[in-house]
Amino acid sequence: MNQDMMPTGVNLGIDGPSLLADIAETAAFGGTAKGGICRLALGAEDRQVRDWLGTQAAALGGVLTVDSMGNQFIHLPGSDPALPPLVMGSHLDTQPTGGKYDGIYGVLAGLSALRALQRSGYRMRHPVELVNWTNEEGSRFAPAMMSSGVFTGAFTQAQAYGTQDARGTTFGQALEEIGYRGAEPCGQHPVRAYFELHIEQGPILEKEGITIGAVTGVQAMRWFDLRLSGQEAHAGTTPRAMRRDALLAAAHVMIMIDEIAQSYGADTRATVGVIQVQPGSTNVVPGEVQMSLDLRHPDDDVIAAVEERIRTEAARQAEQQGVTLSMKRIWDSPAVHFDPDCVEMVRRAASLTGQSYRDIVSGAGHDAAYMGHICPTAMIFIPCRDGLSHNEAEHAEAGDIVAGANVLLHAIMAADAHFDPA
């Protein structure tokens, strides 16, 4: 990207107090006693915050559309209606014990950027849009990043609609129940480039005292369901040598997974986050265990090697314990490398607004990971206290919040100057 492609309008900025007020106001939708948020996808609280966003779109004078996956798009026209839109976005849903910033910060900052453009009278050539992606977290309906995945063709709408939550409600049913199944087919909305602002969800920026992370890509991620099947037996009468204890076998497998992950270096992440034990009785030897596995690494070849070793060693552990094992991969998100020009726009926007910055790779999954497969994409990170996220204590400093939003605004302005030059 050439320096002369940067736009004028350096003094344009977002309204910081208004952005902070929006964060405080939306924290009421699913707020918890500990100051966090529980706003699961397609629940009552999700509907409330979606309705709030629709109200803001109307006040802004933007055009709101909703697609068949419930994704919300707020559209402001550009001076050239033939050009495809530049899009900012993130998500509004949270983990069961989530915080006030994960996802929604990027949506609210994008809203602030739209307001700044409207307020100033600065007219972009491209239309500019804000999107709220449905079910990014995957905490109610797996997998994560579901609607951006359908939007980009990673999986089908039928697959998404058929997924069930813990109570047996399907995604399609829940979408209908809250009234957010839109008429526009998912995936037919044009996008020229995509920018997503987010808290880092890790400790690097805070530790180094840096305000902005120019995200160069997202590491590879794979999710698995493991099922170990043994035999229920009486806890008091069954000798150890005759037991087929599924939970004991699972414990051996979990330790083995951690050891394998460590052997592949500090960039490897392996997490068992969910365990379900049957029959769940104090005096019964467990007959079945179902557990999740989350694997992550920046390199696709390494994560494939880790998976192969885990499969081999888990099968060996199961055989030694006298149980059977199934290991099913349920989600595969390859490593993504963001568009170099868009990443450079983030760097220059940080410099233009007087913020310190560094390049960084995202350890967490984001909708931008899927968007990077279909259009030029970049992300912007700001620090979060102690690197905490997916936690009710999640926190970002006001100055960083405003700084990140201004970088987003100037990056989208730079994209308008860079793409489809007149």
105-136 pLDDT tens trace: 999 999 999 999 999 999 999 999 999 999 99
- Residues 117 and 187 occupy one common structural domain: yes
Asked if 225 and 330 count as a contact pair (C-beta separation under 8 A), the reply is yes
- Residues 293 and 374 occupy one common structural domain: no
Q: What are the strands, taking DSSP E only, across 208-347? A: 212-218, 220-229, 233-234, 269-271, 275-278, 284-285, 288-297, 324-333, 336-337
Burial class (CB in 10 A: 0-12, 13-18, 19+), 52: middle
To the nearest whole number, what is the mean pLDDT of the chain? 96
Looking up tokens 């999700």 gives 46
Asked if 259 and 309 count as a contact pair (C-beta separation under 8 A), the reply is no
* Strand pairing category for 212-218 and 357-362: parallel
CA–CA separation, 415 and 306 (whole Å): 38
Q: What are the strands, taking DSSP E only, across 93-154? A: 128-133
* Residues forming a β-bridge with 327: 226
30 pLDDT exceeds 90?
A: yes
* Residues forming a β-bridge with 82: none
357 pLDDT exceeds 50?
A: yes
Asked if 200 and 336 count as a contact pair (C-beta separation under 8 A), the reply is no
- Residues 130 and 181 occupy one common structural domain: yes
pLDDT digits (tens, 9 = 90+) for 278-330: 999 999 999 999 999 999 999 999 999 999 999 999 999 999 999 999 999 99
* Strand pairing category for 284-285 and 269-271: unpaired
Of 217, 181, 23, the C-alpha closest to 107 is: 23
CA–CA separation, 217 and 381 (whole Å): 12
pLDDT digits (tens, 9 = 90+) for 81-93: 999 999 999 999 9
- Tell which of 333, 367, 395 closes a domain: 333
| Structural domain range at position 180 | 3-219+335-418
- Long-range own/partner contacts, residues 43-47 (CB < 8 A, 24 or more apart): 43/140, 43/174, 43/178, 44/178, 46/92, 46/93, 46/178, 47/178, 47/179, 47/180
* CATH of residue 315: 3.30.70.360
6 pLDDT exceeds 60?
A: no
- Tell which of 284, 305, 333 closes a domain: 333
* CATH of residue 151: 3.40.630.10
- Residues 288 and 246 occupy one common structural domain: yes
9: left (phi over 0), alpha (psi -120 to 50) or beta: left
Burial class (CB in 10 A: 0-12, 13-18, 19+), 384: buried
Q: What are the tokens at 373?
A: 């497969």
* Cα angle 172, 173, 178; round to 5: 100
pLDDT digits (tens, 9 = 90+) for 57-106: 999 999 999 999 999 999 999 999 999 999 999 999 999 999 999 999 99
Name the pLDDT band for 11 (thresholds 50, 70, 90). Answer: confident
Q: What are the tokens at 245?
A: 């204890």
- Residues 298 and 271 occupy one common structural domain: yes
Within 10 angstroms of residue 346's Cβ, the number of other Cβ atoms is 28
CA–CA separation, 110 and 220 (whole Å): 27
Neighbouring residues of 164: CB distance < 8 A, sequence distance ≥ 6: 141, 170, 171
- Residues 73 and 41 occupy one common structural domain: yes
Residue 120 φ/ψ, nearest 5 degrees: -80, -20
- Residues 59 and 159 occupy one common structural domain: yes
Number of domains in the chain: 2
Neighbouring residues of 109: CB distance < 8 A, sequence distance ≥ 6: 14, 19, 88, 197, 401, 404, 405, 408
Better pLDDT: 10 or 266: 266
- Residues 241 and 384 occupy one common structural domain: no
- Residues 104 and 27 occupy one common structural domain: yes
Report the pLDDT value the prediction gives residue 4, as an integer from 0 to 100. 44
CA–CA separation, 222 and 268 (whole Å): 12
Report the pLDDT value the prediction gives residue 3, as an integer from 0 to 100. 46
Q: Tell me the mean pLDDT in the region 158-183.
A: 98
Percent of the chain with pLDDT over 90: 95
Residue 398 φ/ψ, nearest 5 degrees: -55, -45
Report the pLDDT value the prediction gives residue 333, as an integer from 0 to 100. 85
- Tell which of 288, 314, 333 closes a domain: 333
Q: Tell me the mean pLDDT in the region 7-25.
A: 87
145: left (phi over 0), alpha (psi -120 to 50) or beta: left
- Residues 214 and 229 occupy one common structural domain: no
- Residues 203 and 255 occupy one common structural domain: no
Known binding-site residues for Zn(2+) equal 91, 102, 137, 198, 390
Known binding-site residues equal 91, 102, 137, 198, 390
5 pLDDT exceeds 70?
A: no
Asked if 117 and 124 count as a contact pair (C-beta separation under 8 A), the reply is yes
- Residues 288 and 165 occupy one common structural domain: no
Count of H-run helices and E-run strands, the chain: 12, 16
